[in-house]
């Protein structure tokens, strides 16, 4: 789990230490990070659970009347953007395909009763399925996409049990989320349809450090991890700069700094509204943690930009619209990350997720068209001859 660096994890048989709050928090901290949230169903012998980089807004369990020792664990997660994600951790029975079909029918009914229309859905876990055509999969296709192509390992094998002969484990999403699937990219490796993480065949194993080649063959290991990635649009609707209001958004980001000078990473924030925005207490975060908190009294005038740099050495001398990250770093990764701007109340103002296709050494990522909220991002060099334009429009003119 550490090696594939997940954002959201659906876990089964989540028992750790004495299963108390301190033990579970230690597991999450050590395996992921202290900023991750988690939910574990109560009163179950082999409980399901969910761990998330993003805040869990609410969570609970739906009864699985077929299984006496666990239920279906669910969580509504505040992923970047205006749409929430409902994650459901599932562990179907080994008893028979008919029992699994009954479980799937229960789960579909709970989902239809509980999920708001328009929210994203992911169902994942140990289905114990012998084939990909079992009746339970057909039933689940009423709410999620179950068709191929499926995640596979380095050798193209999509089976997930210990002997790599059966498709036990699944990560299934609804049609809205499925439309945003992207290749899983780890180091120099790319897996177009997702990854079955079997360390025995993964090469080079250093890409998923600290995993070891022997991990997937450990004593009692019965399942391989399944990984899928999605690039979710976080700015689907344009900001309406209503008269008398501020309209603040992310406009330009330099994630892949020139050479190794991480102080040069920057995030440009623009206000195209008709009044100043009070930024005191607002925060900029990457996927891991808050990297900058704006000082009290900071304001952003209409038709103006402010640039947050990774380090003080990169702030241009005398620049009035530029500051260094309050933590001394932005820590944006070169391969993929999410930049989130939140106001002082913790509400997301804007967020942007990128992958390696928008990461070129020394070239920023810019709105296309420039300074147009709600539009996608492109490499700066696709819009202008220059590699970046912090604090100005893409052509170097002022906002």
Domain match, 94 and 166 both: yes
Domain match, 368 and 264 both: yes
Give domain status of residue 326, yes or no.
yes
Domain match, 218 and 262 both: no
Domain match, 176 and 269 both: no
Mean predicted confidence (pLDDT) in 26-36: 92
DSSP-derived secondary structure letter, 92: -
β-pair partners for 293: 283
Domain match, 97 and 16 both: yes
Contacts 24+ apart (CB under 8 A), 295-299: 295/326
Q: How many domains does the chain contain in total? A: 2
* φ/ψ (deg, to 5) at 367: -55, 140
Domain match, 211 and 262 both: no
pLDDT tens, residue by residue, 43-60: 999 999 999 999 999 999
What is the residue range of 333's domain? 248-382
pLDDT tens, residue by residue, 151-196: 999 999 999 999 999 999 999 999 999 988 989 988 889 999 999 9
- 269-306 burial, b at 16+ Cβ within 10 Å, e below that, comes to bbbbbeeebbbeebbbbbbbeebbbbeeeeebebebbb
Question: What's the pLDDT at 259?
Answer: 82
First to last CA, the chain: 44
Token readout for 93 is: 């029975």
Mean predicted confidence (pLDDT) in 101-109: 98
Domain match, 226 and 335 both: no
Domain match, 49 and 176 both: yes
What is the average pLDDT score of the chain? 92
Domain match, 183 and 299 both: no
In this predicted structure, the answer to whether residue 239 has a pLDDT above a threshold of 50 is no
Q: What is the CATH number of the domain that holds 259?
A: 2.60.40.1260
Mean predicted confidence (pLDDT) in 69-75: 97
Specify burial of residue 332 (Cβ count, 10 A radius: 0-12, 13-18, 19+).
buried
Give domain status of residue 238, yes or no.
no
Among residues 378, 372, 381, 379, which one has the least CA distance to residue 399?
372
Token readout for 195 is: 């990854």
Give domain status of residue 389, yes or no.
no
Domain match, 278 and 335 both: yes
Domain match, 13 and 161 both: yes
Q: What is the CATH number of the domain that holds 134?
A: 3.60.10.10
Report the alpha-carbon distance of residue 68 to residue 45 in Å, rounded.
9
- Token look-up 């002997």 returns 163
Question: What's the pLDDT at 244?
Answer: 57
Query: By the 8 A CB rule, do 361 and 353 touch?
Result: no
């Amino acid at each position: 789990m550490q090696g594939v660096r997940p954002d959201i994890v659906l876990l089964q048989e989540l028992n750790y230490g004495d299963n108390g709050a301190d033990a579970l928090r230690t597991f999450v901290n050590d395996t992921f990070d202290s900023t991750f949230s988690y939910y574990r169903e109560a009163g179950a012998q082999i409980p399901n659970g969910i761990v998330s980089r993003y805040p869990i807004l609410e969570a609970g369990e739906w009864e699985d009347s077929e299984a006496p020792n666990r239920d279906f664990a669910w969580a509504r997660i505040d992923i970047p953007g205006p749409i929430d994600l409902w994650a459901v951790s599932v562990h179907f029975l080994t008893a028979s395909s008919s029992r699994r079909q009954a479980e799937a029918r229960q789960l579909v009914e709970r989902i239809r009763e509980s999920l708001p229309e328009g929210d994203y859905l992911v169902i994942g876990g140990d289905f114990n399925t012998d084939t990909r055509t079992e009746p339970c999969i057909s039933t689940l296709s009423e709410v999620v996409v179950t068709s191929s192509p499926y995640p596979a390992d380095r050798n193209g094998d999509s089976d997930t049990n210990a002997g790599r002969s059966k498709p036990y484990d699944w990560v299934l999403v609804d049609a809205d989320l499925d439309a945003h699937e992207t290749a899983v990219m780890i180091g120099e490796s790319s897996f177009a349809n997702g990854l079955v993480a079997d360390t025995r065949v993964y090469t080079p194993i250093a890409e998923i450090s600290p995993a070891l080649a022997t991990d997937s063959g450990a004593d009692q290991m019965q399942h391989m991890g399944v990984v899928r990635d999605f690039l979710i649009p976080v700015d689907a609707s344009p900001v309406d700069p209503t008269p008398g209001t501020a309209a603040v958004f992310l406009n330009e980001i330099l994630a892949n700094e020139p050479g190794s000078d991480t102080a040069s990473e920057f995030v440009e924030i623009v206000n195209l509204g008709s009044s100043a925005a009070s930024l005191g207490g607002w925060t900029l975060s990457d996927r891991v943690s808050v990297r900058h908190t704006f000082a009290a009294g900071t304001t952003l005038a209409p038709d103006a930009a402010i640039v947050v740099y990774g380090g003080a050495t990169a702030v241009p001398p005398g620049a009035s619209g530029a500051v260094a990250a309050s933590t001394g770093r932005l820590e944006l990764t070169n391969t993929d990350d999410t930049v989130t701007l939140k106001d002082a109340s913790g509400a997301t103002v804007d967020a942007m997720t990128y992958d390696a296709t928008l990461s070129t050494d020394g070239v920023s990522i810019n709105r296309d068209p420039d300074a147009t909220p709600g539009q996608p991002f492109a490499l700066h060099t696709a819009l202008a001859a220059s590699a970046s334009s912090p604090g100005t429009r893409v052509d170097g003119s002022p906002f």
